[in-house]
């Protein structure tokens, strides 16, 4: 979602503009020497068009983290349908992969503010914006949701590792 950072463009009808790591909404563009407002949401046309190296790195880390989280979620759904698919070893591997996913997503969220010194952000947030300095902008809901999802995945990774422990004397077929 592009709703990570909210700014405004006072020169252009005081319109709100939004930025994410790889999407933007209501962004300025130059045409015939004038700065105009494109009132739509969209991705950058290519990976290299993302205005900050930090946002490019954030896009990669968050994307890889989300792919890992989806892989674990699919495995968890299969575990519901297929008996004994999750052994203690598989649960530990799932927990470690979830930990990696949480660290990748959380890392992407943490490095996102390094890109606030890009030209696009400074047009919307003022020239005082810089790495970890918002200027006249504010963090918006998708930033908080992504950060809380990283925290949730982190908690789930600890639960997966804890679930891998076998309880002595319970459900042990050799005790018959």
Domain spans in the chain, listed from the N-terminal domain onward: 52-165
What pLDDT is attached to residue 69? 93
Q: Is the pLDDT of residue 166 over 70?
A: no
Q: What is the pLDDT of residues 35-59, one digit of tens each?
A: 677 777 878 788 888 888 999 999 9
Q: Is the pLDDT of residue 170 over 60?
A: no
What pLDDT is attached to residue 175? 47
Cα 81 from Cα 60, distance rounded (Å): 32
What pLDDT is attached to residue 167? 52
Please state the φ and ψ torsions of residue 134, each to the nearest 5 degrees: -70, -30
Average pLDDT in the 77-95 region? 80
């Amino acid at each position: 979602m592009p709703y990570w950072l909210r700014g405004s463009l006072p020169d252009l009808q005081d319109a709100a503009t939004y930025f994410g790591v790889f999407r933007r909404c209501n962004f300025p563009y130059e045409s015939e020497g004038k700065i105009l407002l494109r009132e739509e949401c969209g991705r950058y046309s290519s990976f290299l068009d993302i205005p900050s190296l930090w946002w490019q790195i954030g896009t990669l880390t968050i994307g890889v983290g989300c792919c890992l989280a989806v892989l674990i979620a699919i495995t968890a759904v299969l575990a519901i349908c297929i008996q004994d698919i999750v052994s203690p070893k598989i649960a530990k591997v799932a927990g470690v992969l979830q930990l990696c996913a949480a660290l990748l997503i959380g890392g992407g969220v943490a490095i996102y503010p390094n890109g606030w010194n890009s030209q696009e952000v400074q047009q919307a947030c003022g020239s005082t914006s810089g790495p970890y300095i918002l200027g006249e902008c504010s963090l918006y809901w998708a930033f908080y949701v992504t950060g809380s999802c990283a925290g949730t995945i982190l908690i789930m990774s600890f639960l997966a590792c804890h679930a891998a422990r076998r309880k002595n004397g319970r459900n042990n077929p050799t005790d018959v």
